[in-house]
Structures are given as C-alpha cells and as structure tokens.
Structure 1
Amino acid sequence: MALFSRRDKGDRSTPASGAPASGAPASADSEAAPGRDDDGRVDAEASAAAPVSAASVPGSPVDADAAFADAALAEVDAETADAPETPAEPVPHVGISVNTFGRGADTARPLDEVVREASATNASASAATTGAPTPAPAPARPRPAATAPAPSETIPGLVDNALLQAALAALPESPQAAHIMNVMRQALQGQLYLRAQGDAQALIAAGQGLNLAVTTHEDKRYLLVFSSGEAMRQSVAAEAAAATADSATSVVGQAAHNVFRTAIDSGYDGVYLDHANTGARLVLPIELVKKSLEDGAPVPFELKALLSGERTEETPAAIAEVLTRVPVWVAGGTDPSGAIGLAEARTEAGERRLEVYSHPLEVIAMGRGDSPLPLTTAQLATTLASEPALTGIVLDPAGPWIELDRDDLAAVLAFAD
C-alpha cells in the first residue's frame, strides 16, 4: 500500500553519528611483505616487510562478511523474537520525518512474502555460523563486464540506474543474503528516484515540505525508491484505480547516497526498491544501509562513480588520484595453518594483479568467503612496491572493473614507505 509521507523543509532529524568503521585502516607497522602461494593469493607472511599482517586484521577473516550479513538480517531476528509465525523482513531506512497522507492501492509486493523469505535466509545464515559445514565453493563464473551499460532513459530526462536494475533483475525467487548485498553494492552508485505528491519543484521553491511515497506493513514504514522512470511509472499505473484529485505525482532525483542518508537520518523502517516491478524488487534492511554508508568508503563513493561512469583516456589517472585520498580494501583469506593471504588475479599471459576493492561489499560480492581487509594509500603502495611481480591492480573485479598498471599508479606508489 502506497502512502505519502511528509518531509517538512526544516524537519530533518540530527544525523546519526558515524559508527566506528569495522574497516578502519590497518596498521602500517606490519612485518611481512606479500609473496605468492600456490592458489593465486599474495601471502602476507611470505617475505620480510609486510604491509598487512594478522595483527592488522580487525577480527577473523570472516568477521566483516558476517557483519554485513548480520546487518542484512538484523531486523528479521528482532521480529521473530516477538512473532515466530510472522518474522520481520530485512528492511532499510529512509531519512524523512513524516506524517502520513492519503492511501494508495496495494501495489507493493506483499511484505509478508518478503518477511518469509528473510526468515528462511536468516535460518540459513544461522546454520552457517553455528558450525554447519561450509558449502562447496561456487563454480567459476564468467568475468563480469568491465564497464556499466550505456546510459538509457526509459522516461526522457530520467537516467536509468542500469547497474541497480540488473542486480534487481538477477534476484532469484527467494533471495539470500548474498543477493541482497549484491543489490546493496550496486545501489550505492548513480541516481535514485523518489515519488513526491504534487509539484515538487513548486513546493520546494515555496519553501514547503514534500510528501514522499511510502508503503506500510504493520507498524513499520518503508520509503519507496526507484531505479528508473519506468519503475516509477509502473508504481503510478498500479495505483491509478485509487487516484484522487490531489494525487498528482512528481519525481525527485538524488544521488543514491543522499537517498540512503535520508533514510538513516529520518527514521523510516526501510527502503523498498522498485516495489511495483514483479520479480525485480527488494526491501533493504536499515542496518545494512547504515553499515554500507558508515563502515565503507567515505561518500560520495568516488571510485564507484568513476567505475560506473563513462570511460575516457583520463579515467585511469582520475582513479589513481582518488586512490591517493581514500581507503580501499583487499580480499583476505586464511589457509589451514592460519596464514593470511591476499587475493590476486592472473591473466592468461601470467600477469599478476592485486585485487583491490572500493567498498567491503565489493569483496563479499565475489562470493569466495574472503574477508574485506582495509588498506590506507601508504599500505597499498607498500604492498605493490614490496612485490615487484605484481604488474598492477584490478579494481572492483565483481564489476564494473578496471585494470591499472604500475605506470598508472605512479601517484599511489609515491606513498610507499
């Protein structure tokens, strides 16, 4: 059921203070330089001068992965404690304080369905964290496309968020935690759209608040967020039967991180993506949204923006410049002896590139069970400098990705100890 929730001009609640990042930069005083082991990882204990060591890793190699998974399922646990037969679904937050106006048609996917799916996902996650056998690794997948799809506008003037649309379209009938986090990572780039009641531009010009479309389930409210003009048109069309004289809708487009920050700051119970698009819609848990914004790279996610944008001859230099200012993550795992290794990619020609990630969710999206380990610019530079056989890096190999050679990374390598 779609409603409209009022956002007054001055009615923004105080932003929640940023939680300490589980991916805080690792110590630069490590003692081992990465070497190479037999399974294609850089071994953090192989040489004598390391940028990453076991002591610099925040928790066990699965802690960060589990933290994001727990965030995706946190609200399920809370709800199942009170109502075992109707577990709460993982849902995100949207930041707009509200009074409810109007009543729309029941166009959203029934939240009870999402609740049941989330409950099943939670049960699977619980089994995995209580000593259940680790599933066999997934078969090798084709390499994702290096670049994002070409920009498109299903409604003129509204650029589709093609990467998010693709992630939503790929959801199975019963999404698991990994699918939810894949949608979350792709939702951090590009534009997202909100529905506002009336003429949003005129209301803003007059200094008035906006009534944003929401849906409700029991005592919880979720902001309706759209990946494209077509997704919004589906929402409006599905509610046409319940339209009233004052139900005109306008579009509010914002950078994705601003929409999610609004969700966190304003106290909605969730973000419902493309609610009227059967088979390609999802509710994101607020805890996952919060962790994605506050425990990852600093907004506005410059690396993700460059990777998802148009590629030019200047793109490698622009990415290298950003790498001198923002933290990144590498994919760490352990062998049976407990030694920590960092994932690398190898070409058919035998070239070795360190896998580097713009956000912890990008590591998790690889589906290998690796842990996101944070690196400062100096640590990344030292890692590359101490392992001459590495020809460069591949950034965000889950896609969109880019490969940078050592020459491209000269500005980063200047930070090497």
Structure 2
Amino acid sequence: MTNALYRNDRAGQFPKSYYATTVDLPPERAALHGEERADVCIVGAGYTGLVAALTLAERGLSVVVLDAQRAGWGASGRNGGQVGSGHHKSQSWLEARVGRPLAQQMWQITEDAKALVRDLSARHAPEANYRPGNAYGAYSANDFRGVEAEAELLLQYYGYDQITPLAGDDFRALVKSPLYACGHLDRGAGHLNPLRFVLGLARAAEAAGVRIFERSEVHRITHGDPALVQTSRGRVRAGHVLLAGNGYLPRIEPRVSARVMPINSFIGATEPLTDRQREVLAEDICAHDSSNVVNYFRFEDGRFLFGGRANYSLTFPKDMGSTLHKRMIQMFPQLAGVRFDYTWGGSLGVTMTRLPAAIRVAPNVLSISGYSGHGLALSCMSGRIMAEAVAGQAGRFDVLAQLPGRPFPLGTVLQEQTMGLAMMWFRMRDKLGI
C-alpha cells in the first residue's frame, strides 16, 4: 500500500479546502536535523499529538513533536468539524459487551472530551467559533423506537438530558430532507472550524515550550529506555513516545497497523447560499445520519459543507465532487443548481469495531487512534489521556484499552482490498435499507 502521507497530496502543502482559504497559514517549521533529547517524543501534530504536547509542557516536561507534513495538515485540519457525544457505538451496545459500570466510565470520558474541546477552543482558538447542536437522522420510521430508548437510557443511567428524539415531521422541520424519517437533536454536542482549531492548538503548544518539527517522517522506533525515534535526517532520544498519527501513521508499529486502517472521506463546500437556501437546516447545527457510508453536513460562513465517503480506494478520484454533489441533491432537492466551489478529501483511521484502539506498544510507547469518523472530541481527549499516562496516571488509558476491538483479519496484508470490499458491502446495505 502506498503511504497515505503522500498518495493524494503534495508534500508540505495543505489541501485546497475551504478551511485553508479562510486562515493565514503559518510559515513552514524546520525539519528535524541531528539529534534532540526530550522527556517525550510525539509522532503526529494533529489534535491528539498537540493536546498531549500542550498538556505535558504545561506540567513542565520537555516535548518534541514530529510531523511528516505540517502541523494540522492531516484529518485534524480538513474534517467535518463535528463534535459528537459518546463513541461510534451506542451506550446500549457497549453495555451489552462490557457491562454498565465500565460503559459509564467510557461515557464519562466522552463527556470530558467535549468539555475539553470547548475549553481549548475558548482559550486557544476562539476564531474556531464553536457552536452547540448536533443532529442525527435515520431513514426508517422503525428506528424511532431505538432513538427514544437510547435517549431514555442516557437520561436514566448517565444523567444526560441533552438529547431530544424527533419523529417524522418534527425532524424534517429541523433537517429539511425528505429522506429522513426520524432522528434526534443533541444540544450537548456541536461543531467548529477544525483547521482554525488545530492551528490554535499548535500555537499554544509552542508558546508552552513544545518543539514542533515538520516534514520529518518517522521511519523507525527503537524500543528501550530511552527510546530512539528516527527520521531520514535526525533522531530523538526520549523517555516516552506517543503515537498520534491515526490514519496517516506510517507502518512503524505492527500492533497499531493491524488494528487501524486508513479510509478516505470527502467534503464539498458550496457557493455562498441565499437565506432561502440556507433553510435546509432550521438552526445553525451540524448533522450526520444512519447510513453505513455516513453523510454529514453543516454550514460554515454561509456555505453548505456536505461530506461523506465516495470511493473504494485509498487513491482520491479525479472528480471527487461529482458523487458528493449527486448525494447532496438527492438529500436536499431544494439545492438543485447549487455548485461546489471547493472539494477536498482526507484519510481517517478506522477499526474493526469503529471504536478507538488504545495500545501500550511498549512500557514507554503508547498509541490511541482509530476514531472512525467520530474523532474530533475523542482525539483531543486521547492526547490528554496519553499525557496523563506518561505522568503516571493511567486510569483513563486503561479504561479506553478495554473498548471492544480486534485486528483486521489479514492484519496489514491486503488492507486496501479489504477496505474496498467493506465499502461496497456498506453501500449495498444502504441501498437495501439494512
């Protein structure tokens, strides 16, 4: 498999997303040359790596962050901007597999994750403009009973009262697509501009003393105390190593690569819409749905951002916007004639269970990744949790490590072919309504 770091993007250049046109991108940071020493070396300068780095630096540890491209270049700077509640699986699903007490601990981590995003955004990136409100749409009226049951479970056993189930016309009055039969609105979740957020985290980390090296792909990690992290032009000796590359992590640790596979997702940003066209959402919320190949959408600066997965290969299609645009119009016929001004794609890490994989690769080498499209809040919290583990407080890391998970059937062998077959299977299930 070709390295996802270079397969679809130009080295050192941010994708031509709408997000990238709305910010002043910082100048490129220096690459690693020679040898550095640090208490902690972090591989990856996205949400996970930068939050870990900021947390550790604020505790007085010396931190080096290595990124193969640019800080915020990967999924952290190009995603849909949705801050969701819980994990990819429902709490009822988790309770059935790990029991209620452990499921409650797992839920609390996700609640802390949302609070962390709100706090970090307010302190370091207010320009990311966090707004509350996250809707979930389902295609079958039969799903409403499950939506109600999950909301009642969360209220009764988790004390979470932010979800309002919405049947039929009530949901379609909020998300004005004729395809949705029911859903819910979660006012405890929300959305923001992801690139502005991650660039703010990078500034905060550097202000705290973190050294970030860009264009410094890690090729090898030699375990030991200290561990040795090597790039093509330099190396870092560190007491601890944190792996934070998610879907862009090179295959440097087989245990991680066997559990986390990259897949692509794509987003289109429309031309600026009229007030009438913007009524497709009754409120300034984000939304996603029950498709196996999920659709997600929201507004940003008066443009409609519509995203989803649109191909079966790790190589971006030449015209990534056409399939997305067709799906958008199917869902929102009132947007017929509206064009995309921008389209872009990126890779995310998924696992077999669609739950994060927390792995202690070695006594002083930790990894959390595989957020499976549910990662903006979880990735930030994962960085905080790995930093806690470095400081000797591994309780929350150990909770995440108990999330159900297993390696892909063939490990890293034929992963791209496995992904293609899986995506075709999920699309077939969507067409059949199962």
TM interval, short-chain normalised:
under 0.3
Higher Rg of the two aligned structures: 1
Normalized per residue, which structure has more helix?
Answer: 2
